Amino acid sequence: MTEPVLHGYFRSSASFRVRAALNLKGIGYEDAFHHLGKGDQHASAFLSINPQGLVPALEVDGAVLTQSLAICEYLEETHPFPPLLPSDPIMRAKVRRFAQVIACEVHPVQNLGVLNRLRRLGLSDDQVTAWGAETIDEGLNACAQLIANEEGPFCFGSEVSLADIFLVPQLVNARRFGVPLRWPKLAAAEAACLSLEAFARALPANQPDAE
């Protein structure tokens, strides 16, 4: 079986999530890079892979999967060890809830496409950055409250979960937007993750296309 092909970009937090999941599962993959700042995602060749013009996209077993949450869930179902979701249904729902706060509420409204639309509407770069920072701050504050009573060192106990895979890239984004990281529990979970090779290898700065 050929290795999956991951279409991504070093700075894409959604691509970061999938890289981390692949690494944690021990799944080898090939990279296909698309420079979002130069508009590579709008090229016809890439739109034939993902009509949304978004990364990541994962070519695997003759199919193309898009949307990082769907890709991670696929990897969990096809490669169940190590698990990224707890066995208890309530805890699984809590982990998914945390991941979806980031995937569905925080990240989409501060990604490149949305920010560029704000600029086209006349907002200055400073205003766009402030808007993105406020969105991130509100979302991370909610995330911190969601795990306030959970044991560490990771978001939900002693094992990495889907929540951590979505948290760490968002914290990288938060720093880019100048958001003060005022949540010790989130910072502790990030530190625990980055002590693992799977996360360290997935960092934007460690990708071949990093600038």
**Residue 103 token pair:** 């995937």
Task: Say if residues 175 and 130 touch (Cβ distance below 8 Å).
Answer: no
d(CA 45, CA 10) in angstroms, rounded, equals 19
Among 70, 112, 98, which residue's Cα sits nearest to residue 160?
98
- According to DSSP, the residues that pair with 8 across neighbouring strands are 33
Mean pLDDT in residue range 78-89: 96
Task: pLDDT band for 123, please (50, 70, 90 cuts).
Answer: confident
d(CA 137, CA 125) in angstroms, rounded, equals 18
- What pLDDT score was predicted for residue 102? 96
**Residue, of 74 and 39, whose pLDDT is higher:** 74
Q: What is the DSSP letter of 64?
A: E
Instruction: Give pLDDT tens digits for 154-166.
Output: 999 999 999 999 9
Domains of the chain: 5-82 (3.40.30.10), 89-199 (1.20.1050.10)
Mean pLDDT in residue range 30-37: 91
Mean pLDDT in residue range 158-181: 96
For residue 2, pLDDT beyond 90:
no
**pTM for the model:** 0.92
Task: pLDDT band for 206, please (50, 70, 90 cuts).
Answer: very high
- According to DSSP, the residues that pair with 65 across neighbouring strands are 58
Task: pLDDT band for 1, please (50, 70, 90 cuts).
Answer: low
